[in-house]
Amino acid sequence: MIPLPDTVLAWVIPAVVVFGVTAAAVAVAVWSVRRARRSPRARARAEADRTRAGSALVRLDDAVGELDLEVGLSGALYDGEAPAALRRARMIAQHVRDESFESFRGLDDADPDEVRRVSARIRSRTEEALGVVAGARAAHDEWMRAHRSAVTQVDAAGARLERLRTELGDPGALVADLSGRFDETEWQQAAVAARTASTALTSAQQHLGAARSLAADPTRSAFPELAVAERELRRAASSARALEEAHRLVTDAALAMPQEIDATRAAVAQAMRVRDDLEPADAERLGRELRAVTEELDRLIPLAARRPTATVEAIARLRARLDLALGDARTAQQRLRGARTALPGTLASARGALARAELAVAGAGADARVRLDAAQRELAAARRSDDPVEALDAARRAQRHAEDAQALADYARLKTPPADPLAR
């Protein structure tokens, strides 16, 4: 081998040293930057930004709810057609809220830089949408004060109150029907909704009376009392819907429960036939799961008549456990048949979980609301799907999201107990 000239070595060696040191310095710098971005301090800053974005998102979600009320009230005064500015503001706010929910949900596993960037975008878009809503509401309020008298609005609200009272009827009758047939855990939610609806109607009537008295005095404004009355009417209407839904969920579950039990037993029998074609080790594993599912089903049956919704929800979980145990051992036709029989009970279970979550999430933070939004989307997807397997998967995701939303709301409520006992 021919030795390199001394002049070449004298040039190459320093160059290698310089480039090596530079590369090492760059590597250390990159490592330091990445570590700083993932440091506890960086994560704390990112979490603070995420919290601020969540607070803005909660304000927007509340504003959308208020705007829904205002559009409905305006429609009552405009022959069923709300002003274009209000409808446009609601559409913008709903669009921004829904997209921001999606973005906020994606922050769970993001790195701090991504969290801060997305949080800043959420806050910017949310504040912009809130500005649009505030502007539309201010313009509408000014128009209403100039063109609609307080007496007219009080009369319209009074008519809605009487119509709602007629539609609600005797809320105690629905609760009595449930309490005579089922355990308290089955009708407790309906009882809370009935009490809330009755209380809200009474409160709305009182505030409307005060607004009517103020409207007769040209030197005083009736609008503050009228606004409170409108909110109470909205609370009454929402509680009336919750009462009807709670009653329907329990009675539907009671009717469907025998079929759900039979369908689960049939699914276990089918799984036993699948087990016969498996290798010994897989067959033994599946056999243990089948015995456990059968034992749990037998344990549920004695209480099923008194606890139908709890039984249907437990059966839905058993069907999911059975599908997990079977894995890929079934044919496509067997999976399709199993999904068709499991879907009705799972949809009912997801509806029940969603109804409970909607009550729990009222007044909760962004995390609970985002999970609730995901549950609503998945349940809608399950109902739209023509594929039973896809629909079943979506319904199960909806139930998980709804349960997560309720758990998050309950946890937040434990940390900050509400002042209003009816909020529990």
For the stretch 193-230, pLDDT in tens is: 999 999 999 999 999 999 888 888 777 777 788 878 88
Residue 27 vs residues 17, 19, 227: alpha-carbon distances, Å: 15, 12, 63
| pLDDT at 83 (0 to 100) | 67
Closest CA to 150 of 67, 214, 74, 72: 214
Residue 34 vs residues 38, 226, 422: alpha-carbon distances, Å: 6, 56, 49
| pLDDT at 20 (0 to 100) | 60
Evaluate whether 191 touches 175 at the Cβ level (below 8 Å).
yes
Q: pTM for the complete prediction?
A: 0.76
| pLDDT at 424 (0 to 100) | 36
| pLDDT at 191 (0 to 100) | 93
Average pLDDT per consecutive 10 residues, the chain (424 residues; last block may be shorter): 53 60 57 55 81 86 78 55 72 88 81 85 89 81 67 82 86 90 93 92 92 81 81 88 92 93 94 88 90 95 94 94 86 87 93 89 86 93 93 95 91 64 38
- What whole-number distance in Å separates Cα of residue 56 and Cα of residue 98? 13
Closest CA to 240 of 335, 143, 164: 164
- Write the Ramachandran bin of 83: left for phi over 0, alpha for psi from -120 to 50, otherwise beta: beta
- 95: which 2 tokens? 């669009």
| pLDDT at 7 (0 to 100) | 60
Helical (H) or strand (E) element with 139? helix 112-147
Closest CA to 424 of 413, 412, 408, 416: 413
For the stretch 11-70, pLDDT in tens is: 656 665 556 656 655 555 545 545 545 567 777 888 888 888 888 888 888 888 777 766
| pLDDT at 57 (0 to 100) | 86
- 238: which 2 tokens? 């929402």
Closest CA to 92 of 73, 71, 118: 71
